[in-house]
Amino acid sequence: MTQIVKTIMPIESFGTKIVNVVAMGDVNKPLDLGYISRLFKKVAYRPKRFPGLIFKPKNSEVSIMAFNSGKIVCSGARSVRQAKIAITGFVDKLRTNGLDFLDNPNVQAQNIVAHSDFKRAIDLENLAELLEKSIYEPEQFPGLIYVMSEPKVTFLIFTNGKLVCTGARNEDAINKALITLYQRLEACDVFFEKNLN
């Protein structure tokens, strides 16, 4: 009896790129957003429209949102480290402007979004029938939506092999989810042997 061995692509060959990290920290003290809005030039604070203050650090892609509760959210970072630096930098600016009573924020990633590419075409119609917790309605959206239980992430999977992973809280979860998904697709036998480059 001949056994067929399927090859597993190494994670590096997926070309994974983190495109957004949303992280949150808390200074454990209420913030006077009206006072803070007068400290900085590049802030938006319109409490009737949005309950937080939005700060865009100079020469950065990130946005910082601060709330009266003391919670601080960073979005637009390309890594967890960049998000932590942005939030702690904002808190340091607050401290140098008289708010030196603030605690160091314990910054945690809340959502990481990554793009990846399996570099193989995928039969989404067949996959939708074989993969539990998946939705595929091509007349509404060209990709298959798959909610993975462990690790808890959601994938947008496209016919050309490209995908978006969202919901991870660290890079290890993204890597584990990609390997798990690849193995499931191999087991479902939904890859086309067609070069898409």
Query: What is the tens place of the pLDDT at every residue in 29-70?
Result: 999 999 999 988 889 999 999 999 999 988 889 999 999 999
CA distance 63 to 57: 7
Burial state string for 53-83 with b = 16 or more CB within 10 A and e = fewer than 16: bbbebeeeebbbbbbeebbbbbbbbeebebb
The pLDDT value recorded for residue 121 is: 95
Quickly count: other Cβ atoms within 10 Å of residue 135's Cβ.
13
The pLDDT value recorded for residue 100 is: 80
Give the residue, 149 or 4, on which the prediction is more confident.
149
- Among 55, 59, 47, residue whose Cα is nearest residue 92: 55
Task: With beta carbons less than 8 A apart as the criterion, state whether 54 and 44 touch.
Answer: yes
Task: With beta carbons less than 8 A apart as the criterion, state whether 18 and 114 touch.
Answer: yes
- pTM of the prediction? 0.86
Name the band, by pLDDT with cuts 50, 70 and 90, for residue 120.
Answer: very high
Indicate if the pLDDT at residue 113 is higher than 50: yes
Name the band, by pLDDT with cuts 50, 70 and 90, for residue 196.
Answer: very low
The pLDDT value recorded for residue 11 is: 56
